[in-house]
């Protein structure tokens, strides 16, 4: 399905919970998080029904996210439901990696194709500082497991924050050089717990690329499965790649191929657009598959041409990333 700006929208990101077992400083406050009640979120069968309908509206790729989706029970069952939808050819997860290690085989057997890990530091103390409660070694062994199970391409998402992890840029690049991992550097966005966000802490993709170019020769990479708006480069002689996700500087919205659904069944055309369509309410009112399909098509066609994060700097930040699904 092509939207009003000529983009082929074939990717649905689904948040299946707003809950999380970590408390990353830029994402969630440590205490006082208002959680959604169980009855207000979609059950697995409702999610599966909506994915089937989304597939009829042109969706081919699905990513499960959150919050941390692996804290929700029966994620493997949900993957099985989605695997049974013929049109869906790619199922992936974005995870903090804390629970994946013990669930990896089950998720792969259920039909998981690939996985992205969020990892903002490879120094144990810094990792614990940014996540408040996480352990680096657990995540590193989960990444090893994903590689062993060949859930390729295995991607690492690193949000760069000046003064926190800019000194690790070359270490992350080295990881992509030495291992078949695809490290994506994400510009820090004014969304989430804004107490931690500051405009001065954004490190642009260009700055990051210049630092890495001082050590490695960067070669344009072939398109990597699920690359979306990221731009990828191989490091000459290396095994993996690096990528840049640049929502704050450029090269992003014109290549955007996604829509998002929250755990309560709200459909959004853009992470930063306030407009939402209430699919759960529509289902409770007895909407037919065709009516729901029309709701998907309307959201796709009215997807905004670009986000407006650069205007107002966080003023529109009514929902947090863990509530929308990062």
Instruction: Choose the one of ligand SAM, ligand SF4, none that binds residue 9, judging by a C-beta under 5 to 8 angstroms depending on kind.
Output: none
Both tokens assigned to 190: 């004014």
Report the distance separating Cα 164 and Cα 36, nearest Å.
31
Nearer to ligand SF4, 22 or 235 (CB): 22
Q: Is 20 in the site for ligand SF4 (CB under 6 A)?
A: yes
Q: Is 22 in the site for ligand SF4 (CB under 6 A)?
A: yes
Closest CA to 117 of 181, 173, 162, 192: 181
Give me the DSSP letters along 84-138.
T-TT--EEEEEE-STTHHHHHHHHHHHT--EEEEE-S-SSHHHHHHHHSS--HHH
Q: Is 75 in the site for ligand SF4 (CB under 6 A)?
A: no
| Contact by Cβ (8 Å): 65, 325 | yes
Least distance CB 23 / ligand SF4 (angstroms): 6
| Contact by Cβ (8 Å): 88, 61 | yes
Nearer to ligand SAM, 68 or 264 (CB): 68
- By CB under 6 A, the count of residues binding ligand SF4 is 12
Both tokens assigned to 96: 């903090």
Nearer to ligand SF4, 67 or 153 (CB): 67
Q: Is 245 in the site for ligand SF4 (CB under 6 A)?
A: no
Q: Is 322 in the site for ligand SF4 (CB under 6 A)?
A: yes
Least distance CB 214 / ligand SAM (angstroms): 24
Selected range binding ligand SF4 among 65-73, 137-145, 179-187, 309-317, rule: CB under 6 A? 65-73
Tally the residues of the chain: 326
Sequence-distant contacts of 288-292: CB under 8 A, at least 24 apart: 289/49, 289/52, 289/53, 289/56, 292/50, 292/53
Closest CA to 119 of 91, 90, 141, 92: 141
Closest CB to ligand SAM: residue number: 326
Q: Which residues bind ligand SAM (CB under 6 A)?
A: 20, 26-27, 65-66, 68, 94-96, 118, 157, 159, 186, 188-189, 191-192, 321-322, 326
Write out the residues near ligand SF4 by the rule CB under 6 A: 20, 22-24, 27-28, 66-68, 96, 118, 322
């Amino acid at each position: 399905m092509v939207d009003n700006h000529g983009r082929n929208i074939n990717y649905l990101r689904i948040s299946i919970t707003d809950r999380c077992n970590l408390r990353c400083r830029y994402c969630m406050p440590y205490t006082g998080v208002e959680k959604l009640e169980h009855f207000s979120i979609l059950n697995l069968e409702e999610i599966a029904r909506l994915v089937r309908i989304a597939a009829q509206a042109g969706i081919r790729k699905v990513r499960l996210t959150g919050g941390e989706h692996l804290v929700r029970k029966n994620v493997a069952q949900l993957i099985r439901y989605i695997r049974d939808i013929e049109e869906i050819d790619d199922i992936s997860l974005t995870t903090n990696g804390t629970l994946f290690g013990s669930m990896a085989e089950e998720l792969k057997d259920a039909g998981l194709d690939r996985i992205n890990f969020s990892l903002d530091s490879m120094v144990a103390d810094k990792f614990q500082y940014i996540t408040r409660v996480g352990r680096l070694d657990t995540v590193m062994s989960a990444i090893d497991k994903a590689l062993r199970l060949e859930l390729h391409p295995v991607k690492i998402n690193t949000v760069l924050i000046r003064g926190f992890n800019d000194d690790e840029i070359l270490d992350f690049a080295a990881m992509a050089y030495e291992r078949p991992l695809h490290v994506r550097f994400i510009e820090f966005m004014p969304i989430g717990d804004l107490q931690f966000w500051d405009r001065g802490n954004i490190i642009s993709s260009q700055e990051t690329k210049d630092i890495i170019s001082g050590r490695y020769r960067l070669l344009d990479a072939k398109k990597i499965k699920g690359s979306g708006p990221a731009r990828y480069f191989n490091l000459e002689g290396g095994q993996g790649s690096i990528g840049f996700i640049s929502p704050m500087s450029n090269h992003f919205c014109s290549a955007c191929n996604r829509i998002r659904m929250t755990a309560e069944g709200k459909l959004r055309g853009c992470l930063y657009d306030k407009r939402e369509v209430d699919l759960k309410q529509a289902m409770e009112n007895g909407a037919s598959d065709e009516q729901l399909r029309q709701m998907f098509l309307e959201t796709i066609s009215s997807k905004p041409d670009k986000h407006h994060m650069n205007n107002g700097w966080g003023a529109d930040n009514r929902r947090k990333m863990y509530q929308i699904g990062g």
